[in-house]
Amino acid sequence: MKTATLIQLIPFASLAECLSLPPLPPVSLPPVPSIPGVTVPLNDLAPPLPILQVPTPALDSPPFTASDIKPKKIGYFWTGAGDRQHKDFLATYSLDDDTFGTLLWITDVPSSGNDPHHLGPSLDGKTLIGGGLLSLLKTQDTAFYFDTTNPYRPTFKKSNRAILSSIADEIRAKPDGGFYITYMGSAVGTSPGRLVETDADFNIIHEWPEDVPSVLNILKEQFNPHGLSIDWERKNILTSDFVEPVTILHPSLGINKADTLRLWDLDTKEIINTITIPNGGGIQDVKHIPGNPEGAALATAVHLGQVWIIYPLRKDANGKPGVTELLFDLGPKARDTVAIYTDITQDGRFFYLSLTTANHIAALDISDLNNVKRLDNPDEEQPTIGPHYVKVTPDQKHLVVTDYFVQTGALGLINTPADFKALYVDILDDGSLSFNRSIDFQREFADRGGAKPHSSVIFDLTDPEKPLYY
């Protein structure tokens, strides 16, 4: 019997019920055990394979010298071992002026080669979650949780993976505990991905969408959510579609880039509109503007090198909520820079963007959206190679930048240059940037082939009564 005939025999109600069934509970597989003298040589003998890799056991971190100081400002950096054989790890550093760059602790995860990606804190600051971009290639868990109850000595808590999706990207903490996380790909790295939700114990409880119209929506159009922003007051979620992950790996006919964002209803997790940026060529990031009276958000179109503004409450030509328009063109040096990630100061005044392959960090004054002002010189040669993840510190006085995006090596098409540094950049009164200090991860972790810091979380414990976690 032909497939088409089989489908015709399924009543629509039954098909709808099938599409709306909740996903199976998530799983977590134990890491491959390490047996000295037996499994360790496998790291050198395992042949490179197309896409899937041999799940070799991870090598333990070499000994390190920890510090017992207790700084007020702490930087956590989610980092991959340069040799892809040693365990990936969370590096904890002092960001205080007098002890800047002092290593406090290293917290290993049980596996290697995850290519650590984004990192995010829970609202209470007791847990961090880091995602693995390439974890699925070694059939490993894709999300890693750290206990930061003692902020100076984080411990590894657990890891897990989803059933329908993989490649954890952006992270937002839920007010009642747990996280929302964009998973850019399906379980095998294709489209569609999912918006994943955990409970307060960090167990995966949903892989959204689950309603029939929204599932049909993500099956119809490329759905690879990367950016994630939530307006808790106005009850909406914005996700931005970047690229289909499997297409950055060999064999590939070219990278499939998306031009869309999805507007979700926060309460129901239904997709209420698909918003298109024509010829966007990968919409990597989206963030609501703090304090904006319309709840507007900014999104980056990588191919175009442009910033677009999204108004979630305005109605489009079809009467659906969510419209977009061009806000600012970053100029020719921003075109096709592979990645444009962003952050906004909490007063909604200043907007910072990393132009990865242009080796540049742009700064915009967005206090007047009708007259956006560029604060950086696009022709300036900045002391950064391959900047990607940017984060404004809780005191709004610095920008933390990590100089590493993605290097797939012989496996894939994206290998962006990087100097593997964490930059601590001063934000001046007018919002412009002054480059000052950095931490050199290649030098600090030479005993594991260097290190690749992709993202950061900043704790500010200056006021013990009001600690801040960004």
Q: What integer is the mean pLDDT of 320-327?
A: 98
pLDDT exceeds 90 at position 21: no
Q: Is 463 exposed, middle or buried (0-12, 13-18, 19+ CB in 10 A)?
A: exposed
Domain membership of residue 389 as a residue range: 69-469
Residue 7 in domain? no
Q: Tell me the C-alpha to C-alpha distance, in Å, between residue 351 and each of 222, 246, 312, 362.
A: 28, 31, 19, 8
267 φψ region: left (φ > 0), alpha (ψ -120 to 50), beta (else)? alpha
**With bands split at pLDDT 50, 70 and 90, how would you rate the model's confidence at 29?**
low
- Confidence class for position 15, pLDDT limits 50, 70, 90: very low
Q: Is the pLDDT of residue 46 over 90?
A: no
**In the predicted structure, residue 467 carries a pLDDT above the cut 90:** yes
Amino acid letter, 234: R
Rounded Cα distance between 429 and 426, Å, is 10
Does 127 fall in a domain? Answer: yes
What's the rounded mean pLDDT across residues 118-133?
97
Does 23 fall in a domain?
Answer: no
Per-residue buried b or exposed e for 109-134, using 16+ beta carbons within 10 Å of the residue's own CB: bbbbbbbbbbbbbbeebbbbbbbbbb
Q: What's the mean pLDDT in 446-452?
A: 97
Does the residue 229 lie in any domain? yes
- Flag whether 376 is in a domain: yes
148 close to 154: Cβ distance less than 8 angstroms: yes
More confident residue, 33 or 466: 466
Structure confidence by residue, pLDDT tens digits, 134-189: 998 888 999 999 999 999 999 999 999 999 999 999 999 999 999 999 999 999 99
Q: Is the pLDDT of residue 251 over 90?
A: no
Specify whether the CB–CB gap between 296 and 289 falls below 8 A: yes
Residue 87 pLDDT greater than 90, yes or no: yes
Q: Please compute the mean of the pLDDT values over residues 33-47 and round it to a whole number.
A: 43
Higher pLDDT, 32 or 403: 403
pLDDT > 70: what percent of the chain? 89
Model confidence at 39, pLDDT cuts 50, 70, 90, reads very low
Tell me what pLDDT residue 52 has.
61
Q: Could you tell me if residue 255 is inside a domain?
A: yes
Q: Return the CATH number at 362.
A: 2.130.10.10
Overall domain count for the chain: 1
**Residue 27 within a domain:** no
- Residue 53 confidence (pLDDT): 65
**What is the rounded average pLDDT of the residues 373-382?**
97
Q: Comparing 35-39, 50-54, 163-167, 169-173, which segment has the lowest mean pLDDT?
A: 35-39
CB atoms within 10 A of CB 268: 14
- CA diameter of the chain: 74
Q: Establish if 55 belongs to a structural domain.
A: no
Query: Does 43 score more than 60 pLDDT?
Result: no
- pLDDT for res 253: 87
pLDDT confidence tier of residue 364, bands split at 50, 70 and 90: very high
pLDDT confidence bin for 27, thresholds 50/70/90: low
Confidence bin at 8 (pLDDT 50/70/90): very low
Average pLDDT, the chain: 91
Q: What is the pLDDT of residue 30?
A: 57
Q: What is the pLDDT of residue 26?
A: 53
Rounded Cα gap, residues 92 and 461, in angstroms: 14
